[in-house]
Structure 1
Amino acid sequence: MTALTPLDRAHTHPATLARTRERIGLITEAARRAGAYVAGAGSRGVAPTADAVAGLGAFGHPLPDSPRPAREVLAELDAFGSPATVVTGHGRHFGFVTGGTDPAAAAAAILAGAWDQNPGAFSPVAEALDRVACAWVVEALGLPSTAAASFNGGATVANLTGIIAARDALLARRGWDVGEQGLAGAPALRVVIGDEAHVSAVKALRLAGFGAVQIERVPTDASGAIDASCFPADTDDLTLVVLQAGNVDTGASDPFAAVIPGVRERGGWVHVDGAFGLWAAASPALRSRVAGVEGADSWATDGHKWLNLPYDSGIVVVRDPADLARAMRTDAAYLPSDPAALRGRGIQISQRARGVEAWAMLASHGREGLAALVEASCMHAALLARLLTEGGATLLAPVTLNQVLVSFGTHAATDAVVAAVQAEGTTWASGTVWHGTHAMRLSVSDAATTADDVAAAASAILECWAATRG
């Protein structure tokens, strides 16, 4: 008889077998409850009821003194947590450019959770999938094939990563090594952004050490895009320009082709905040909306918006891998710096394997499916705008991509409609202020949205408007 190895003995130990059976049962039960949630979520309101929100108080009990069975804890999470969610994946959530969850990506997330891999340390499968998914993203967006990319915690982190890479690269070209010399006493950098730059880009600039007095704002046009005629012509090799693909209210993008070449010719760096709008480049029909964006030095986008990946998933891409490696390097005897590893391409070292979900989604959809997803969202946005304007609402900006911006008369009337819609439950939209006018903003980025969802949402919005008018 062949002697058992230490691994065999460990695997067949009664206590190990019992723990394994318990774990399998718990994961299976979690999947069953998740399936039940998905099955029922489409038949309830998008926003949770007041009773469901009040029920969250059940989680606030004192920290238990003794252990509890994991199945009881899971049941408690489901009983009080599931009813209090916002339903983002059934086609009628139009707030905050929130994509749903692609089925392949959701399934991959379950498997990846069981794998529990850290691509920042040592995991061959996580590193391989991250590498392939990054290359696919770069290819789908039409960015330089030699660029380096990495997944991170969202567009704010992606913006921060790109901006730090830009800061360090611009200073390095002047002979200043931030890694060795820090920022105190470094040559001053000039930062140029548009008046409609998103708060995540502004926050990232602050986190990278740029104060408000260092930031120059360029006027924007009626769509929220930078007015190219107002863009400064005297940028130089100490200038960082942050442009935008997809205004959060209108979907409009800055004039990349008119701005980027001149900035780069004069030695400056262009970073593009493209949280959702950058994905227009993945569609042959919509690529012209972001023409010239591929000429930038770095780009940031979200996977949990138009790519419909689970939260959280940001992606940064940098044209020259050496610039990203310089800014993100790690130095430790047990964790040597490796620009090819994820820890050498991003801020985090320990992190979840986000590339698994991105790989699954892209492998499932392919280039044509990804383009179809983006195009369908834009078609549904145009339909939603048409139905609302036919019902009397005022469209405040042309529908450029997937954003719809409408008002219902006065500021007070619009605010009342937004509140009524959020309470009614058929759909969910957010309020905003556009050039001094209170507006309802609807963002169509869930792959599950259908024309029927759009019709139902428009009808509910118009009915809420009628109800608020008495």
Structure 2
Amino acid sequence: MSDFEYQAALDRAHAHSLEWIGSLGTRAITARVGMAEIETHLGTLPDGPTEAAVVIDELARAIEPGLAAHGSGRFFGFVIGGAHPVAIAADWLVSSWDQNAGMLSPTPGVSATERVAGRWLLDLLGLPGDASVAFVTGATTANLTGIMVGRSALLRRAGWDEDRGLADGPRIRVLAGAEVHTSALQAVRYAGLPRPELVAVDDQGRMLPAALEAALEAAPGQPTIVLLQAGNIHSGDSDPFDALIPAAHRHGAWVHVDGAFGLWGAASPALRHLTRGVELADSWATDAHKTLNVPHDSGVVIVRDRAAHRAAMSMHAPYLAHFDDGGGNPYEYVPEMSRRARGVPVWATLLALGRSGVADLVDRLSLRARQLAEGIAAIPGARILNEVVFTQVAIAFEHDERTRAVTDAILADGEVWMSGSEWHGRAVLRLSVSNWQTSERDVHRGIEAVRRANAVVD
């Protein structure tokens, strides 16, 4: 491919990107067409080559009608952030540079950037400064890595060689709150461990210290991983780490915190109380996409014991031996050898925002959630079920059928995206404020969308 072809393809991608981003404030949130129509437009494999610029134009033309406006300030579904401009631009550079960030020696530029990003994250989140930081695909893989490190450390303490496998080794017990997120459950399964025993929680999904103590005392001396949570998917609240973690450590347990979005509360002086004591854990997982607003593929795993982290995840081969500066290569801390430089957009976003900017971002997301909750609470029949302390709001109407009907009407309307769920045995309309662009106008449009939907189902 000639330089001209690179230029033409990138120019077209740039133009389509700006057109898409420029439409986010006004376009419908939901996709206009379904998969079948898009597959038809994408056609069949041609016999010969196609010019790069033509390919990009065709890609944008065929796919754009099937895109949901995840980057809009009116997207309140799941916990999906909207990418910050500097993060998108840095991500473009990462793709252009095309570095394999798994090894230090061949890629000192991106490796150094990721190390600095890791140190900045530890500082912002108030975690131990000598902890190891590794960049993975998302929160699920971050949870998996932290749990695997815990598994490895517990087996070593018990005198078991992991090379012998898990089948005949000491049984590792896993304890988790009754409202543990499904990604943590999946990570436990991937790690070959038994399904967690569920520990009682309060009405906001926070694990009860007395219940954890009782569960730990029920099997004294058994190797145990305790899964805690920063950011309940429905309430947004976090476990009382300052009470739970010391209790778990008294019983010799490894404590892993799933902080996919809620761990970022530690970056805000106004919200730091939500994560009080989280720094006492052994490992942490988060997702820079969800709250920091870096593009997808931005999971982060942090482990207090760097040596335990490397011992659990490293792999070795003669041809890799000379690519180590003494602290281990990035691939020795994650489940993969080859990967893009995920930490570069994280560094760029942190530099752009600074310490105060990150705090302002987190505070603003929380403020918008409270504003949405207050406005929706004034709609006849709507009830806010959670204490809105962070970025999540759970809403119910008079009965489950109406709640589901309102949810369906909101999605059909297309003005905003709010998704359904179930919490405390009832249907809920759940929304998450995760986008840096969400404004007071977006809040107003969201409230009015719920009001319209409620009127439609009358």
Q: TM-score by structure 2 length?
A: 0.95
Work out which of the residue numbers 121, 124, 130 in structure 2 matches 1:140. Answer: 124
1:359 aligns with 2:341: no
| CA contact 1:251–1:277 (8 Å) conserved in 2 | yes
Q: Which amino acid aligns with 1:195?
A: A
Work out which of the residue numbers 386, 393, 413 in structure 2 matches 1:424. Answer: 413
| CA contact 1:168–1:177 (8 Å) conserved in 2 | no
Q: Which stretches in structure 2 are left out of the alignment for 5+ residues? A: none
Equivalent position SS for 2:122: helix
Q: How does 1:64-463 map to 2 (within 5 A)?
A: 64-121=46-103, 122-178=106-162, 180-212=163-195, 215-231=196-212, 232-234=215-217, 236=221, 238-336=223-321, 338=324, 339-392=327-380, 393-463=382-452
Question: For 1:33 and 1:102, how far apart are their aligned partners in 2?
Answer: 17
Question: For 2:35 and 2:303, how far apart are their aligned partners in 1?
Answer: 42
Q: Which amino acid aligns with 1:198?
A: H
- Radius of gyration: which is bigger? 1
Question: For 2:36 and 2:160, how far apart are their aligned partners in 1?
Answer: 55
Q: Which amino acid aligns with 1:342?
A: P
How many angstroms does 1:60 deviate by? Answer: 4.6
Q: Which amino acid aligns with 2:108?
A: P
Question: For 1:89 and 1:41, how far apart are their aligned partners in 2?
Answer: 7
Equivalent position SS for 1:175: coil
- Give deviations 1:257-278, integer Å, cap 9, x for gaps: 1110121133211000010011
Q: Which amino acid aligns with 1:193?
A: A
Q: TM-score by structure 1 length?
A: 0.93
Equivalent position SS for 1:209: coil
Question: For 2:333 and 2:190, how far apart are their aligned partners in 1?
Answer: 18
How many residue pairs are counted as aligned between the two chains?
448
> Could you tell which deviates more after superposition, 232-241 or 192-201?
232-241
- Give deviations 1:345-401, integer Å, cap 9, x for gaps: 111110111011001100000111001101101011001000000112111111121
| CA contact 2:410–2:416 (8 Å) conserved in 1 | yes
Question: For 1:408 and 1:216, how far apart are their aligned partners in 2?
Answer: 32
Question: For 2:452 and 2:23, how far apart are their aligned partners in 1?
Answer: 25
Q: Which amino acid aligns with 1:352?
A: R
| CA contact 2:216–2:251 (8 Å) conserved in 1 | no
Equivalent position SS for 1:300: strand
Question: For 1:318 and 1:403, how far apart are their aligned partners in 2?
Answer: 27
What residue number does 1:19 align with? 2
Q: Which amino acid aligns with 1:386?
A: E
Equivalent position SS for 2:389: coil
Question: For 1:356 and 1:420, how far apart are their aligned partners in 2?
Answer: 40
| CA contact 1:236–1:268 (8 Å) conserved in 2 | no
> Could you tell which deviates more after superposition, 121-130 or 193-202?
121-130
Equivalent position SS for 1:271: strand
How many angstroms does 1:246 deviate by? Answer: 0.5
Question: For 2:290 and 2:23, how far apart are their aligned partners in 1?
Answer: 23
| CA contact 2:5–2:52 (8 Å) conserved in 1 | no
Equivalent position SS for 1:243: strand
Q: Which amino acid aligns with 1:364?
A: A
What residue number does 2:457 align with? 468
How many angstroms does 1:182 deviate by? Answer: 2.1
Equivalent position SS for 2:319: coil
How many angstroms does 1:114 deviate by? Answer: 0.6
| CA contact 1:100–1:308 (8 Å) conserved in 2 | yes
Question: For 1:187 and 1:401, how far apart are their aligned partners in 2?
Answer: 39
| CA contact 1:236–1:263 (8 Å) conserved in 2 | no
Q: Which amino acid aligns with 1:454?
A: V
Q: How large is the Cα RMSD of the aligned pairs? A: 1.4
| CA contact 1:127–1:341 (8 Å) conserved in 2 | no
Equivalent position SS for 2:300: strand
What residue number does 1:5 align with? none
Equivalent position SS for 1:334: helix
Q: Which stretches in structure 1 are left out of the alignment for 5+ residues? A: 1-17
Equivalent position SS for 1:348: coil
Question: For 1:24 and 1:89, how far apart are their aligned partners in 2?
Answer: 26
| CA contact 2:31–2:65 (8 Å) conserved in 1 | yes
Question: For 2:180 and 2:240, how far apart are their aligned partners in 1?
Answer: 13
Q: Which 4+ stretches in 1 moved above 4 angstroms?
A: none
> Could you tell which deviates more after superposition, 242-251 or 391-400?
391-400
Equivalent position SS for 2:340: coil
Identity %: 42
Question: For 1:57 and 1:341, how far apart are their aligned partners in 2?
Answer: 41
Q: How does 1:39-54 map to 2 (within 5 A)?
A: 39-50=22-33
